[in-house]
């Protein structure tokens, strides 16, 4: 992929940067609750500022329906960016490619940042129609002299700001995208062994492709989160009121058979924390093969947490994607905390695969420097590990 160095002298140039500012917000206050993606974006902005560029940032937040919606404004993320860049002028345009954006860009001085309002306030950003998407990309490209792709969390999307703009301007991959790709290649090209993969989250169906591909690469597969109950059910166990994907049972049985045939160790929980409903009331630990019919599993149990930590202790490469339980509730945070602690204590190369896993690391108070890498893109990371072609990366290769 082309890098910022390939863009040549950027002094006085307007550089459009596709960043990932899709941060979680407090539902009541609107404040940023996890600024990881903002912090990850700053180094590339700073590098461009140091080169004398005028930096135009474009990003999305949430899923507005192709029109302005105040609750999805990038203002909270921009406010956090201002705190992270003291002394730098960082302003938010009131629109994306309208009069406010054009005026803000026109008025820029070297070394300033203008953030365009939420890209998804424009239907062209995510349109499946090439012409509509291209027309929006034309408007974005008209604001700049060059383009830098640095929003790794969206490189698996064929969207105007990710794919089409790169075809219209001199382009390069930003530092964040380059770092993410380098890390993911370590997980797919001759990883140091033993190579352990920890998968959690709610649904098996969300991880089908990555499980299928990792069965050819990994030595151990540890399964937690809501998806574990489909694995337990596939082995004939009662899972009570726990999350279950009946339509995936045969697929899971096939995975278990393949793993056994290929010598891949699949580690499932031996106990779970379950309650009568989705609350902390009545939470108890049950053996994995003895979940009562009226209980809902909400975390792996303490014995499982110890088992998982042991299976990770000698791993030289670990990839983790998806929490082990409902970690936001303390009663169901034990499994996720144990996995995070095992990775933080490991001497191997550990990768936290973005999304809820990255949020859990920060929410539970772990030092991010204790991990080999914390990705900013959960979905993009998974698709890369599935072996899929990511349009936002391929477009940067020429």
Q: Is 297 annotated as a binding residue?
A: yes
Query: Within a 13 Å sphere around the CA of 244, how many CA atoms are in the beta-carbon half?
Result: 19
Q: Is 61 annotated as a binding residue?
A: yes
378 has catalytic annotation: no
Q: Is 120 annotated as a binding residue?
A: yes
Q: Is 153 annotated as a binding residue?
A: no
DSSP tag of 161: I
Residue 284 burial (CB count, 10 A): 12
Q: 13, 14, 37, 80: which is the annotated catalytic residue?
A: 37
Q: Is 128 annotated as a binding residue?
A: no
Contact 66, 126 (CB under 8 A): yes
Q: Is 21 annotated as a binding residue?
A: yes
Q: 203, 316, 362, 388: which is the annotated catalytic residue?
A: 203
Of residues 126, 209, 202, the one with CA closest to residue 164: 126
Q: How far apart are CA 357 and CA 371, in angstroms?
A: 12
Q: How far apart are CA 269 and CA 44, in angstroms?
A: 41
Q: Is 207 annotated as a binding residue?
A: yes
322 has catalytic annotation: no
Q: 79, 111, 372, 379: which is the annotated catalytic residue?
A: 379
Q: Is 71 annotated as a binding residue?
A: no
Q: How far apart are CA 394 and CA 156, in angstroms?
A: 10
Of residues 139, 144, 79, 89, the one with CA closest to residue 114: 89
Q: Is 357 annotated as a binding residue?
A: yes
Q: 124, 151, 240, 355: which is the annotated catalytic residue?
A: 355
Q: Is 256 annotated as a binding residue?
A: no
**If you search the block for the tokens 């300033």, which residue do you land on?**
112
203 has catalytic annotation: yes
Looking at the DSSP assignment, which residues form a beta bridge with residue 6? none
Q: How far apart are CA 201 and CA 326, in angstroms?
A: 9
37 has catalytic annotation: yes
Radius of gyration of the chain (CA): 22
Q: Is 295 annotated as a binding residue?
A: no
Q: Is 60 annotated as a binding residue?
A: yes
Q: Is 355 annotated as a binding residue?
A: yes
Catalytic residue numbers? 37, 203, 355, 379
Known binding residues for substrate are: 20-22, 37, 60-63, 120, 157
Known binding residues are: 20-22, 37, 60-63, 120, 157, 207, 297, 328, 354-357
Known binding residues for ATP are: 207, 297, 328, 354-357
């Amino acid at each position: 992929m082309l890098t910022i160095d390939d863009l040549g002298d950027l002094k006085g140039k307007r550089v459009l940067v596709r960043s990932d500012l899709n941060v979680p917000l407090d539902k009541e206050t609107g404040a940023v609750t996890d600024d990881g993606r903002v912090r990850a974006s700053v180094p590339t902005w700073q590098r461009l500022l140091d080169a004398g560029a005028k930096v135009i940032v474009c990003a999305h937040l949430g899923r507005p329906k192709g029109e302005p919606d105040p609750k999805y404004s990038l203002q909270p993320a921009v406010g956090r960016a201002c705190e992270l860049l003291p002394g730098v002028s960082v302003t938010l345009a009131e629109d994306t490619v309208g009069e406010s954006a054009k005026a803000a860009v026109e008025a820029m001085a070297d070394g300033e940042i203008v953030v365009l309002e939420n890209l998804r306030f424009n239907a062209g950003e995510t349109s499946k129609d090439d012409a509509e998407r291209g027309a929006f990309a034309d408007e974005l490209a008209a604001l700049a002299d060059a383009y830098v792709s640095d929003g790794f969390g969206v490189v698996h999307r064929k969207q105007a700001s990710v794919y089409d703009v790169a075809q219209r301007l001199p382009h390069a991959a930003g530092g964040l995208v380059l770092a993410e790709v380098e890390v993911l290649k370590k997980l797919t090209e001759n990883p140091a062994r033993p190579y352990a993969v920890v998968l959690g989250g709610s649904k098996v169906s969300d991880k089908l492709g990555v499980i299928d591909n990792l069965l050819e690469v990994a030595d151990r597969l540890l399964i937690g989160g809501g998806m574990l109950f489909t694995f337990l059910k596939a082995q004939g166990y009662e899972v009570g009121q726990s999350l279950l994907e009946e339509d995936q049972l045969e697929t899971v049985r096939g995975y278990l058979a393949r793993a056994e045939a290929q010598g891949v160790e699949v580690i499932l929980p031996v106990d779970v924390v379950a309650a009568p409903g989705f609350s902390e009331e009545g939470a108890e630990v049950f053996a994995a093969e003895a979940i009562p019919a009226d209980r809902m599993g909400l975390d792996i149990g303490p014995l499982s947490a110890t088992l998982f930590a042991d299976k990770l202790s000698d791993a030289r490469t670990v990839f983790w994607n998806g929490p082990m339980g409902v970690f936001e509730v303390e009663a169901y945070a034990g499994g996720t905390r144990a996995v995070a602690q095992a990775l933080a204590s490991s001497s191997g190369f550990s990768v936290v695969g973005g999304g809820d896993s990255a949020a859990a690391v920060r929410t539970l108070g772990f030092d991010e420097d204790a991990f080999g890498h914390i990705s900013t893109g959960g979905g993009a990371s998974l698709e890369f590990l599935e072996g899929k072609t990511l349009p936002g990366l391929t477009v940067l290769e020429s």
